[in-house]
Chains A and B, each alone.
Chain A
């Protein structure tokens, strides 16, 4: 490859990406000894639930409402999608509790916490807009209650929650794309900064009470 191509934007981007996340960091084959607790499993459980949600949601979108409302197999995938959402929030909240109590934003990991919090906040309207897909009186009721909530928050002029097509489109496309993008950023940041060390390790190494937290490798 000539010297000139090294100045191209793609080469610069590649160097920056590899510098930030070399392959052994992007796909590690070992983990710190302190990551030996069941609480660390809930992140991947949340991810697995999200994968099932996306997969079952794609099948539901491909086949359409007449399929999932009427046929047995459609009803099954509808139920898989619903229960995957229930498990997604269950595991995500337990993951959130664990990360909060271990102060996982320490050591330069503030963006990891922020992306996690944002993905939680975006997942909530994504789940709530899914109710309109029931296409029954219950979903209309939920829409009217949500419209009242948006009006009370002062943003009712921007979102018409009674617009079924719009809310269904938010649920099927816009919000899942946003969630997946934020989760990818969240995971890449975890890979980059590493899992936060426990308080005891920081106290042992620095001889002081934990403050800012250790960065990876300290």
Chain B
């Protein structure tokens, strides 16, 4: 079964001082930060109050 994405090549790396991280890793971290921000800011559906404090 052919892969959707070609994985048979070297990953691109971002290098800054001692930090050496792949582009895909940076993307995952960026997505995590975005998800965190959305989780904190997005409105949460309020159901019927059932005597909660």
Contacts and interface: CB of A to CB of B under 8 A. Distances in A.
Contacts of A39: 36, 39-40
A31 B39 contact: no
A38 B51 contact: no
Interface of A: 29-33, 36-39, 41-42, 90, 93-94, 97-98
| A interface, over-half SS | helix
Contacts of B40: 37-39, 98
Contacts, number: 37
A38 B53 contact: no
A93 B39 contact: no
B38 interface: yes
Residue from B44, B49, B51, B53 having most chain A Cβ neighbours under 10 A:
B53
Contacts of B51: 30
Contacts of B52: 30-33
Given A30-B52, A32-B52, A32-B53, A97 B44 contact: no
Interface size range of chain B in the complex:
10 to 19
Nearest to B47: A36
Nearest to A201: B53
B46 interface: yes
Given A90-B32, A93-B32, A94-B32, A38 B39 contact: yes
Nearest to A194: B53
Given A30-B52, A32-B52, A32-B53, A38 B32 contact: no
28 contacts: A29-B50, A30-B51, A30-B52, A31-B52, A32-B53, A33-B49, A33-B52, A33-B53, A36-B44, A37-B39, A37-B40, A37-B44, A38-B38, A38-B39, A38-B40, A38-B42, A38-B44, A39-B39, A39-B40, A41-B39, A90-B28, A90-B32, A90-B35, A94-B32, A94-B39, A98-B36, A98-B39, A98-B40
